[in-house]
Structure 1
Amino acid sequence: MKARTLLHRRKILVVLKGYPRLSETFIAQELLGLEKAGFDLTLISMRRPTDKKRHPVHDEIRARVIYLPEYLHEEPIRVLKGFFASFRKPGIKALWKRFLKDLARDLSRNRFRRLGQALVLGREWPDNGEWLHAHFIHTPASVTEYASILTGVPWTCSAHAKDIWTSPDWDLHEKLGSARWTVTCTRTGYEHMRTLTARKEAVHLSYHGLDLARFAHFGGQRSHRDGSDPADPVLILSVGRAVEKKGYETLLRALALLPRELNWRFEHIGGGDKLPKLRALAAELNISDRISWKGALAQEDVLDHYRRADAFALACRIASNGDRDGLPNVLVEASSQRLPCVSTAVSGVPELLVDGENGMVVPPQDPVAFAGALETMIRDPALRLRLGDAAERRVREHFDHEASIGQLGRLFEEEWQKAS
């Protein structure tokens, strides 16, 4: 999207849960895309980074990063200054009315923390921000909306997956009613949010897409491994955090169900709290010797693994608390590299993968079905090649992030034109 000069480019304060994060490359990619399109950003992070590595895209983003107090008791002076300064703000009465209404429905320390962070933001107000934008409609949007009420500065929101499905309907209803617009990255999330607001026209579907310059076409040869050679096993790759919604228990059980004569190896890239339990399950299933746990890797290393693997597997599921993926960016990334994917019919996955056409899609939490799809993929290198080529075509035709950046740019400018 080419930068336009017809309208004043307002300074946007972008509120994030944490920055930078290895697991949120889709956000970093969007931020960089907006900067390249001429938007002026300052990043407001509610948490400091915990990842030891960074993706190259993080080093390309020029925006300044401001960190709010992660826990209010850690920076009491800063919070008190925000509290006392708030009484001079135009929306203080409206903010307290809204906060008490929310508190009655969510009596928690977390609710007070979001108010405190909003008060700090309202006082410090970096770089003379003229617009607020939240990434995630749960806690970042709470801070953003409170700051908007306090200061009178308009706000907008990008909703994704967990934030939609683990938020109570009343919370989503309130935020969808006050944000100028909200975008989300899957049709399932889009349709769900539209049921919760009378302002249906203010909810938009916008796939993240992929920076196809960063994930260039892979012209290398794909292997003809078919699982028959013990010295040259089929390589199955997965990238994702070890959390419930990624379904790694299902994937491991599916691997254990594969016929013993098939020769395969499995590589997992990602961190997550459940890694020790997954390792223990792999040992229990007697497949540990076929698995490599790589931990979190930078994007260029992940790209190299996509190009070396024979198949990609991600057994997405709906977690016990309702959390689920939107459209996992790793499926788009793998597909862009002609790597055929096996996944599940959860949330936005079928919006990318069509079973038998450009991937294999099975029901969630079904190890037998997942094992069957993996076995088919392992035994048939010609099928892998056909599905991988079709997957890349779909990504390059429908998931170019330039389209998403262009859509966001138009949404911002339409609002600014109304206010001018």
Structure 2
Amino acid sequence: MRIGLLTTGESRLWCDRLVRGLPQHEFELYAMHHEPGPHPEAGAERAVVAHTAELWAPPEGRARRRPGRRARRRFAEHLGRLMTGVCAADGPAFTDGLHGLAGLARDHGGLGAALRSEPALRVVEAACRVPGVSRTAAAATVADLLAFTDELERALRPLSLDWYESLGAADVCHAAGGGVPALPGLVAKRFFGLPLLVTEYGVPLRAHYLRGPHGPAGRPAVRALLAGFHQRLAAEVYREADLLTPGNAHVRRWQERCGAPRDRQRTVYPGMEADRFATVGEATEQGDPDTVVWVGRAEPAKDLIGLLHAFAEVRRHAPQARLRLFVTGAARAYLADCRSLAAQLFPDEAADAVSAGESPVGFEELGGPEAPTAAEAYGTGRIAVLSSVVEGFPVGLVEAMLSGRATVSTDVGAVREVVGGTGLVVPPRNPKAFADSCLALLKDPERAQRLGAAARARALELFDVEQTVAAFHESYLHLVAHRAPAPAATPFAAPPEARVPGHWTTPTWAAAPEAAV
């Protein structure tokens, strides 16, 4: 079976596990990158062919000719319909406009120049001035309209790609993400009837809502218009997808709120390679009982500031406790703030620890001499923590569970669903509750050990990569088996002699001339 796999940079590791786990299928990779830089493709050595699109820059040189007057009029009509859907929450208008623009992009080699033109700006402005739109959108200034039109052009760049003839020849299109990453699959279904499978482990619409007000796109009118666009696009993807595989109940609920049919949803957890954590998870020695471990990217969403305040409370009641932070990547300014706060919260302890060779709070880079792998990082302590205020599917938490560690986590995203009853869950942004839960496990090592064993058993049962791969294999077979057949010729619509070269007298009962081959 031939699978057209739509990927992004964020989904590379997951796609790699899928491609390697299903050698019986042929994967044709279609990777979309929104930022410059080296982008190794997932499982590229096993793919039939890998297509790459650098969407961080406008496509160049694809237009075959300058669109004529009729094409420009059709473009204005389709863009106007799309903007009616954005501003007035009109689903059918958005659908007509989106697929109309896709058809124009196919016929004329792209839409980049048209979407960056002054006529496009006038269409957007006219849609915002129609009576009945929201006050925020109606108050958009020229600068707001320019910023939104620029963002709209970026979002619609997948329509101008030259992938569709190749993608339409696949048996199934699998989009590793909803919203803009699923646009090629949405178009391929409309053009070729290709079954569309959409997998989501996070919610793009939710990520847009949580995006901070930075730059021109952060102004209220621009944010309102972009929210309308992404909401209508999410609803269109969920309505058209033949099968939706949310990665957890949190994502599933978001999809349902956007109109996803329940009968087309099937929860499939992201698979983790449990073998990488077997040595640590099954070891007799369970790490330092006084050490708390955090592993992840140092950024504001992880709330390391709150974690440091919570650990300061822990140190007041358990002076022997240590916190080790293994950083996989960082927003440099935020990491510097965290280091500065740690020095302020533990000045005396840090000074004494320097002479003793041991610090109460340690910032270490994952891959260093003491923790070259995530499994070994979790193995340095007995308790693993997650302090995020925003989280989709907590991959790091699953890794801690596979490592057999008791966990303390904030109740965000899919955390409660992942942990079940095998760890302690506290409200986010509550350092006191977080500290109390950590102290409860530090003072009761036997309970921590029991919870760690239960956590590993739960992770092996629910989050092993083999179960995920098997679930997608079944999904592919289901979609191909239920694919709508291509239109066939009507039996006996033309007499047999109509297929033989030569001049024949057409009897009155024969088919119309256009039916002959």
Q: TM-score, normalised by structure 1?
A: 0.78
How many Å separate the matches in 1 of 2:343 and 2:480? 57
Moved more, 106-115 or 238-247: 106-115
Q: CA deviation at 1:367?
A: 0.6
Q: Match for 1:285 among 342, 345, 348?
A: 345
How many Å separate the matches in 2 of 1:126 and 1:19? 21
Q: Any unmatched runs of 5+ in structure 1?
A: 1-8, 227-233, 318-323
Residue 268 of structure 1: aligned partner? 326
Match of 2:409, SS state, is strand
How many Å separate the matches in 1 of 2:409 and 2:465? 22
Count of residues in correspondence between the two structures: 382
How many Å separate the matches in 2 of 1:330 and 1:196? 28
Residue 236 of structure 1: aligned partner? 292
Does residue 379 (structure 1) correspond to residue 443 (structure 2)? The answer is yes
Residue 346 of structure 1: aligned partner? 412
Match of 2:384, SS state, is strand
Residue 13 of structure 1: aligned partner? 4
Q: CA deviation at 1:16?
A: 1.9
How many Å separate the matches in 2 of 1:61 and 1:360? 42
Q: CA deviation at 1:180?
A: 1.2
Change in 2 beyond 3 A, CA 1:120/1:385: same
Q: Aligned runs of 1:4-403 on 2, under 5 Å?
A: 9=1, 11-18=2-9, 25-33=13-21, 35-36=22-23, 38-47=24-33, 62-63=46-47, 64-73=49-58, 75-77=59-61, 79-80=62-63, 107-122=148-163, 125=166, 128-150=169-191, 152-166=193-207, 168=227, 169-197=231-259, 199-216=261-278, 218-223=281-286, 225-226=288-289, 234-260=290-316, 261-273=319-331, 274-286=334-346, 289-295=359-365, 297=367, 301-317=373-389, 324-354=390-420, 357-403=421-467
Q: CA deviation at 1:202?
A: 1.2
Residue 5 of structure 1: aligned partner? none
Residue 229 of structure 1: aligned partner? none
Q: CA deviation at 1:372?
A: 1.2
1:13-69 Cα shifts (integer Å, max 9, x gaps): 222221675xxx444323432x34x22212222217889998xx9579623543202
How many Å separate the matches in 1 of 2:338 and 2:64? 46
How many Å separate the matches in 1 of 2:445 and 2:412? 26
Conserved? CA contact 1:210–1:400, under 8 Å: yes
Between the aligned residues of both structures, percent identity stands at 21
Q: CA deviation at 1:246?
A: 2.3
Counterpart amino acid of residue 426 in structure 2: V
Q: Any unmatched runs of 5+ in structure 2?
A: 90-123, 125-147, 209-226, 351-358, 486-517
Change in 2 beyond 3 A, CA 1:280/1:94: farther
How many Å separate the matches in 2 of 1:279 and 1:124? 52
Residue 212 of structure 2: aligned partner? none
The structure that has the greater radius of gyration is 2
Counterpart amino acid of residue 43 in structure 1: L
Moved more, 138-147 or 337-346: 138-147
How many Å separate the matches in 2 of 1:83 and 1:96? 18
Match of 1:205, SS state, is coil
How many Å separate the matches in 1 of 2:315 and 2:194? 61
Change in 2 beyond 3 A, CA 1:382/1:198: closer
Q: CA deviation at 1:417?
A: 0.8
Q: CA deviation at 1:267?
A: 2.2
1:61-114 Cα shifts (integer Å, max 9, x gaps): 6235432023233x512x446999xx9xxxx99987875566668944333223
Conserved? CA contact 2:366–2:377, under 8 Å: no
Moved more, 268-277 or 248-257: 268-277
Match of 2:275, SS state, is coil
Change in 2 beyond 3 A, CA 1:219/1:199: closer
How many Å separate the matches in 2 of 1:49 and 1:297? 25
How many Å separate the matches in 1 of 2:303 and 2:191? 41
Change in 2 beyond 3 A, CA 1:223/1:307: closer
Moved more, 97-106 or 212-221: 97-106
Conserved? CA contact 1:69–1:117, under 8 Å: no
Root-mean-square deviation (Å): 3.7
Q: TM-score, normalised by structure 2?
A: 0.64
How many Å separate the matches in 1 of 2:465 and 2:365? 27
Q: CA deviation at 1:190?
A: 1.0
- Between 1 and 2, higher relative CO (CA 8 Å, sep ≥ 6) is seen in 1
Match of 2:183, SS state, is helix
Conserved? CA contact 2:195–2:479, under 8 Å: no
Match of 1:281, SS state, is helix
Q: CA deviation at 1:314?
A: 0.6
Q: CA deviation at 1:348?
A: 1.4
How many Å separate the matches in 2 of 1:306 and 1:72? 40
Change in 2 beyond 3 A, CA 1:135/1:108: farther
How many Å separate the matches in 2 of 1:326 and 1:305? 22
Conserved? CA contact 2:322–2:361, under 8 Å: no
Match of 2:266, SS state, is strand
How many Å separate the matches in 2 of 1:120 and 1:59? 22
Counterpart amino acid of residue 41 in structure 1: F
